[in-house]
């Protein structure tokens, strides 16, 4: 009597391994993308320092712009994100990093699904800083942060 695997058993094993590999690759891609948010955190941290300095000098966030923070809303070949400032009020500011997508420039690889990573900051201390993230296609939360 010969011992071995049947063709059906081999096909079942190959299918199971393929499913596990597909799940693993997608999870790995998400972890890598989440790690890229470190760039955004560093750059937004520098923007927050500029905003704080601006608030100390002027007593308001009105008039604070991208030039003062040293950013422009362009995907550069050295960045995964493009950065900008959005005003929330005269005392709070929203510092935004938008992930660069295909065809928009930016450091490769570009994201296949775009998201906005941002920090709501109030230099006067009226409320604590809070990080947010949402996917641009359906505005659902990403990376465990609120949208």
Tell me if 104 is assigned to some domain.
Answer: yes
Q: Kindly give the pairing relationship between strand 81-87 and strand 93-99.
A: antiparallel
Q: Phi first, then psi: give them for residue 86, nearest 5 degrees.
A: -125, 130
Structural domain count of the chain = 1
pLDDT band, residue 34 (cuts 50/70/90): confident
Please give the Cα distance from 30 to 99 (Å, whole number).
14
Tell me if 141 is assigned to some domain.
Answer: no
Beta-carbon contacts of residue 25 (< 8 Å; ≥ 6 apart) = none
**Average pLDDT value for residue range 91-107:** 88
Residue 124 has pLDDT above 90, yes or no: no
Which of these, 78, 71, 53, 73, lies nearest to 116 by C-alpha position? 73
Tell me if 72 is assigned to some domain.
Answer: yes
Lowest mean pLDDT among 5-14, 27-36, 55-64, 135-144: 27-36
pTM of the model: 0.78
Beta-carbon contacts of residue 38 (< 8 Å; ≥ 6 apart) = none
Sign of CA dihedral 37, 42, 47, 53: positive
Q: How far, in whole angstroms, is CA 29 from its chain's centroid? A: 13
Domain span at residue 116?
A: 7-135
Write down the residue that tokens 């938008």 correspond to: 98
Tell me if 91 is assigned to some domain.
Answer: yes
Tell me if 144 is assigned to some domain.
Answer: no
CATH of residue 36: 3.30.700
Tell me if 142 is assigned to some domain.
Answer: no
pLDDT at 81: 93
Instruction: Give residue-wise pLDDT tens across range 63-95.
Output: 888 998 889 899 988 889 999 998 768 889 999
Contact of 121 with 48, CB cutoff 8 Å: yes
């Amino acid at each position: 009597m010969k011992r071995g695997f049947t063709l059906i058993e081999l096909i079942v094993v190959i299918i199971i391994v393929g499913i596990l590999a597909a799940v693993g690759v997608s999870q790995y891609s998400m972890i890598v993308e989440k790690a890229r948010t470190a760039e955004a955190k560093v750059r937004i941290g520098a923007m927050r320092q500029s905003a704080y300095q601006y608030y100390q000098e002027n007593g308001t966030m009105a008039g604070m712009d991208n030039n003062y923070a040293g950013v422009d809303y362009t995907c550069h070949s050295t960045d995964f994100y493009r950065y900008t400032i959005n005003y929330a009020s005269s005392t709070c500011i929203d510092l935004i990093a938008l992930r660069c997508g295909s065809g928009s420039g930016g450091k490769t690889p570009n994201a296949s699904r775009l998201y906005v990573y941002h920090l709501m900051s109030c230099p006067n201390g009226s409320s604590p800083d809070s990080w947010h993230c949402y996917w641009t296609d359906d505005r659902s939360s990403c990376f465990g942060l609120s949208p």
